[in-house]
Amino acid sequence: MNTQPTLFTSFSPALLHLYDLSDSIVVIIDILRATSTISTALFNGAKAVIPVDSISRCIELGRQIEGITAGERDGKIAEGLQHGNSPFEYPREFVEGKTLVFTTTNGTRLLQMALDKGATEIVTGAFSNISVLCDYLMVMKRNVVLACAAWRDRINLEDSLFAGAVIHEVGKYFSINCDSSNIARSMYESAKEDLVGFMQKNNASHYHRLMGFGLEKDIRYCLTPDLANVLPKYDNGKLTVQ
């Protein structure tokens, strides 16, 4: 009898309904750039990140709690917000002790969707915090759903690669009856020597969108492991480090 916990990968919010979230740790993945930036802000001492799903709610809440309003739509700083979702906007000297109110095209929307679908434990994952995430998943011995934010429901390379990287690390501790997980792992294992090169070669659509905005530095940061090794955990409306 197999008593290992299960692991599934959802490549798109449009596939999330296929998985049982209520009995799993749900890992929200939005590599370019929401979850990379969330771990960075918390690593640099932010008190909390409050994910919200609309710009108007972001502005309203930011005013109420005197927080930093931040976020993007379609890869650019959203109109009316103070900051975007580049990890470089949140160094310690700026963010320490502050609360970010944060809204993004895909990542914060997916988090809200996971809550609506009954998720009871939500953390965020990115290359920037991959080691602490993997350690956590191994220690907890609970079922896991790796939930990729994708791009307007279209599967993307970077979130899928990250799911593969996690499975490459922790897969042997889980029962994996999930071809999405197998696809992700196989892809990561053929890409791992040079993730940036793999993204370039495979013409990742979001990579090129951001390159067009001059964000190569962000991309390199977001594909580098362990630059902000804390585990953002969602509780009571906020992402914080426990």
Residues at the interface with its own copies (CB under 8 A): 11-12, 14-15, 18, 151-157, 160, 176-180, 182-183, 185-187, 190-191, 198, 202-206
Closest CA to 111 of 174, 29, 22: 29
Q: Which of 34/81 has CB closer to its own copies?
A: 34
Give the list of residues 6+ apart from residue 166 with CB closer than 8 angstroms, or none.
27, 125, 130, 133, 134, 137, 146
Give the list of residues 6+ apart from residue 230 with CB closer than 8 angstroms, or none.
39, 42, 43, 129, 132, 241
**At closest approach, how far in Å is the CB of 97 from its own copies?**
38
Q: Which of 137/184 has CB closer to its own copies?
A: 184
**At closest approach, how far in Å is the CB of 180 from its own copies?**
5
- d(Cα 215, Cα 4) in Å, to the nearest integer? 41
**At closest approach, how far in Å is the CB of 81 from its own copies?**
27
- d(Cα 206, Cα 236) in Å, to the nearest integer? 31
**At closest approach, how far in Å is the CB of 5 from its own copies?**
16
Helices (H), the chain: 34-43, 55-65, 92-95, 107-116, 130-140, 157-170, 179-191, 195-201, 205-212, 216-222
Q: Which of 82/182 has CB closer to its own copies?
A: 182
Q: Which of 32/41 has CB closer to its own copies?
A: 32
**Residue showing tokens 């309203």:** 60
Q: Which of 19/90 has CB closer to its own copies?
A: 19
Residues 156/37/235/111 CA torsion (nearest 10 deg): -20
Q: Which of 127/234 has CB closer to its own copies?
A: 127
**At closest approach, how far in Å is the CB of 123 from its own copies?**
23
**At closest approach, how far in Å is the CB of 6 from its own copies?**
12
